[in-house]
Structure 1
Amino acid sequence: MPIITRELNVLARCGNQFRGERLKALSLTAPQAPYILHICARPGRSQEELAAALHVNPSNAARQLARLCELGFITREAHPHDKRQLAVYPTQKAQDAFPLVRGVNAQWHDYLTAEMTEEEKAQLEVLLEKLRRRAVLWDETRGDLP
């Protein structure tokens, strides 16, 4: 496995474990955390819009949203502009969890970058942004790789 892929996979898995341990008290799992962040930041998005924003399969998004609804973090209502779609809104429970989820993400970021200089952090952000743009380009076009 190429080193970049391996390193990104390890970072993602360890980050999920970190978030999972810290969010357990809220009855949230690590994969649910981004949904809370997105829904609280932009209430009223459709399930399809959330799936696209999170770069996940729509069926996976539907399952996560159903669970968040069961847990009382969100409500789903007919979309105001398209009754065939469901708009997703945070409940007070989600709004209360929002700063805690952001805090857990900040803790992980601070832990990972604790031994980096400000210059190294800035360089890493630029490089990760380049990788993210390429990944999103593929996700949006499903184009063949060269």
Structure 2
Amino acid sequence: MFQTLAYYATVFHRDFVTYTTTRLQALGLNFGSLFPVIYVGKHPGCTQAELTADLHLDWGYSQRCITKLVEDGFLTREKSGRAYHLDLSAKGKQAFAVSHQVFFDWDDEALASLDAEERKQLFSLLTKAIQKEADTTCTKPFTAP
């Protein structure tokens, strides 16, 4: 077994993607739409440019993702001036609730072997590691749901 953060990050990422994909498929969503749905849910009326910049997405990917979410009835896109503003539809609000909750549910499963104090310590150390990374790379860290 490897003793590197990269190894553990990869294991956790794979498990999270599998878990989340299973939960989202029931709604007709894929893992790639998780963060755009959460972003619009937390920033109603945002523009696609804001979403793209804040999530550090490629413009082409963002365009395809938003178009699909609108076509599938998860988002609404209203033109206001020169920009389109995004909001969740009723179906999108349900998807937001599931997408948001999946983080907490996965944590409960993945960290079941840790007690409350150990979880607190783990998150404290991870926060410290991320802050150091954010300070050296000048990128703002993603805020979890």
Q: Does 1:132 align with 2:130?
A: yes
Letter in 1 for 2:89: T
Partner-residue secondary structure (3-state), 1:75:
strand
* Equivalent position to 2:103, from 83, 102, 105: 105
Q: Does 1:42 align with 2:46?
A: no
How far has the Cα of 1:127 moved from its partner?
Answer: 2.4
Gaps of 5+ in 2: 141-145
Partner-residue secondary structure (3-state), 1:140:
coil
User: In the alignment, what sits opposite 2:143?
Assistant: none
Partner-residue secondary structure (3-state), 2:76:
strand
Partner-residue secondary structure (3-state), 1:95:
helix
The percent of aligned pairs where both chains have the same amino acid is 28
* Equivalent position to 2:94, from 69, 78, 96: 96
Alignment size in residue pairs:
138
> Following the alignment from structure 1 to structure 2, what is the Cα–Cα distance between the partners of residues 132 and 58?
26
Q: TM-score, normalised by structure 1?
A: 0.80
Change (3 A) 1:130 1:109: same
Change (3 A) 1:52 1:125: farther
Note the aligned Cα RMSD (angstroms): 2.4
Q: TM-score, normalised by structure 2?
A: 0.80
More moved, 57-66 vs 68-77: 57-66
Letter in 2 for 1:12: H
* 1:50-89 alignment runs, 5 A limit: 50-79=51-80, 83=82, 85-89=83-87
User: In the alignment, what sits opposite 1:144?
Assistant: none
Change (3 A) 1:112 1:97: same
How far has the Cα of 1:2 moved from its partner?
Answer: 7.6
Q: Which structure has greater helix proportion?
A: 1
How far has the Cα of 1:138 moved from its partner?
Answer: 2.8
> Following the alignment from structure 1 to structure 2, what is the Cα–Cα distance between the partners of residues 74 and 118?
37
Change (3 A) 1:97 1:137: farther
Gaps of 5+ in 1: 142-146
Provide, for residues 3-58 of structure 1, a one-character-per-residue CA deviation record: whole Å limited to 9, x for no partner.
11222122112211111011111001122112211211211111122123323323
